[in-house]
Structure 1
Amino acid sequence: MSPLLSPESPELDDAHFALLAHYAKHLGRAPKAIRFATNAGDRRSRQKGHGMEMLELRAYQASDDLRHIDWRVTARTGQAHTRLYAQENDHQRLLLLDLSSSAYFGTRHTFISTRLIQLAGIIAWRSKQQGDTLSYRLTYGAEEHASNKSGTLSSLLSQLKEASHLEHRTNESRPDSIWSNTLLTNKMHNKDVIILTDKQTWSDSEESALMQLAKHNSVHWIQIIDSNVYNLPAGQYQMADRHGVKQVNISKHSMQQAKIDFFEQNAMMRKKLAAFGIRHQLFDITESPEKIARYLLSQGALH
């Protein structure tokens, strides 16, 4: 069995993260990225002669290059406006990894938490290899880590390794969503945002923040489930969660009802995300993180 698909332990070590670098390097070539465009002020467009991409249109500031003043907007509004540019090859990415205590579970190969962490590791390595800018925020158990600085790969990998520790399933999940109420996400514009989480519910205020994030960025939502959990034979099982180990009686009827409830809730979530313009993709734990990373590559979320 592949060490990537079925690592020896759900708690990942340095050797496994080094292995992820190899897979990240050999993902293949990305197709030409499809740039997203929104309303005026948030549009990315090719500008002949600049070799640059326009990131933002805003009121003129004293330090701005006079060559980048937008005279049409200035004439229309009566206030000087300037265009801000970034190099076309400067891909900027935000990684959001949010693990509930329920993610530290799996019936085969590994845990859902481990698969999401593996994928985050591949994203981190690929961003480094391609020279892309990667900001991130991680929440798991009672822990939260975030950075928008360059050169933080070693710190990110260390935090991902720590996130794989099973002790975090005994902690209460953070009540707020990973994209809400932070300066890191509130100021995101024109970035590829990748959300990795097993959660699929949020409050009204969190929904407003998610809509705002999707309005100004290209958001990709990756969800991983263990479908085999709905095929377990009827009987009594020992289950471990944040409350400890307990006996759980499972019947064929309860399994079928749990499956129906999950996929009904998942369908509602997918419908909401689609309305926000967020690309959602559901993967089973039997699929390797390399395959999921290639999907992100095909969508332009990775390069």
Structure 2
Amino acid sequence: MSPLLSPESPELDDAHLALLAHYAKHLGRAPKAIRFAPHSGERRSRQKGHGMEMLELRAYQASDDLRHIDWRVTARTGQTHTRLYAQENDHQRLLLLDLSSSAYFGTRHTFISTRFIQLAGIIAWRSKQQGDTLSYRVTYGNQEHASNKSANLSALLSQLKDASQIAHRASASNTSIWSNSLLTNKAHNKDVIILTDKQNWSDSEESALIRLAQHNSVHWIQIIDSNLFNLPAGQYQIVDSQIVDSQMTNNQGVKSVSISKNSMQQAKLDFFAENSRMKEKLASFGIRHQIFDITEAPEKIARYLLSQGALH
């Protein structure tokens, strides 16, 4: 079994976060793919020249480099055309991690929050190893951290370590991870990876999400614990995440929840119906959504992102 699948504790330490570097390095190679084009009519190609990647072929403009004139197309069309290039290794990535209080829960292996944090760590290490530019915004509990400095890996890992602390489930973040932020408002031509267990957003958040998807390639990763819907009927004692008291004794901060077979089945139907609506809405925005179970290892999820071109 992968040591990442069932960590000793859902609260991750420095050694575990350092171990993620090994898994990031051995994800494999990303497939060659046509990169994202933010504007209609713009096309990108795998054709290379001058150690660069061709972004666009268009009519010549006075400011264009004469060395990049495409003489073959010019001769065929009778109009001078030039090629625009970008550095092949100039991969811009934006990581958005948003954990609700409900994410600090799991019936098998670890917490949903822990799996998200492991995945975020692999993304961070992979970006560093590939020389990609990584900006990020992380929200959990009452904490929010953001940076557009790609060299700030140690700070991000420290924040991920803090995010894994169970105490954060007592505070629900009301921050919208993709709106009201300079990082997202100014994001253009980036691979944006959204990691969150949330399924709802406001109208203003939706408008911001649509704008983000118009100018970037957005990948939405959701992790669930499907075993939650298979719990046997009965009474369960659950710690109330709204009560924080390190001196809790007896029944303080604990509530009893009754679960029947019918109520569990209805909860499952409601969840997946809402999830299906969310998936359809995200697809209409041009956002790729993928759902994974907590039983799936973080390196497997990272390989999916690699196959989609979100990682390199």
- Aligned residues of 2:34 and 2:46 also touching (Cα < 8 A): no
Q: Equivalences for 1:45-194 in 2 at 5 Å?
A: 49-53=49-53, 66-67=63-64, 86-174=86-174, 176-194=175-193
Change (3 A) 1:55 1:216: farther
Aligned to 2:202: 203
Deviation at 1:36, TM superposition (A): 2.2
Partners of 1:54 and 1:32 in 2: how far apart? 14
Partners of 2:48 and 2:234 in 1: how far apart? 67
Asked if 1:227 corresponds to 2:231, the answer is no
Partners of 1:242 and 1:172 in 2: how far apart? 10
Aligned to 1:261: 270
Partners of 2:167 and 2:91 in 1: how far apart? 35
Aligned to 1:214: 213
Q: Which amino acid aligns with 1:251?
A: S
Q: Which amino acid aligns with 1:238?
A: Q
Aligned to 1:9: 9
TM-score in terms of structure 1 length = 0.87
Change (3 A) 1:44 1:189: farther
Deviation at 1:34, TM superposition (A): 2.9
Aligned to 1:74: none
Q: Which amino acid aligns with 2:15?
A: A
- Aligned residues of 1:112 and 1:226 also touching (Cα < 8 A): yes
Of 280, 289, 293, the match for 1:284 = 293
Change (3 A) 1:24 1:183: same
Partners of 2:49 and 2:308 in 1: how far apart? 28
Q: Which amino acid aligns with 2:204?
A: S
Deviation at 1:55, TM superposition (A): 7.2
Q: Which amino acid aligns with 2:278?
A: M
Change (3 A) 1:153 1:284: same
Deviation at 1:19, TM superposition (A): 1.1
Aligned to 2:250: none
- The runs of 5 or more residues in structure 2 that have no matched partner are 57-61, 70-82, 244-253
Query: How many residues are matched?
Result: 285
RMSD of equivalent CA atoms? 2.4
TM-score in terms of structure 2 length = 0.85
Residue 24 of structure 1 aligns to a residue in which SS?
A: helix
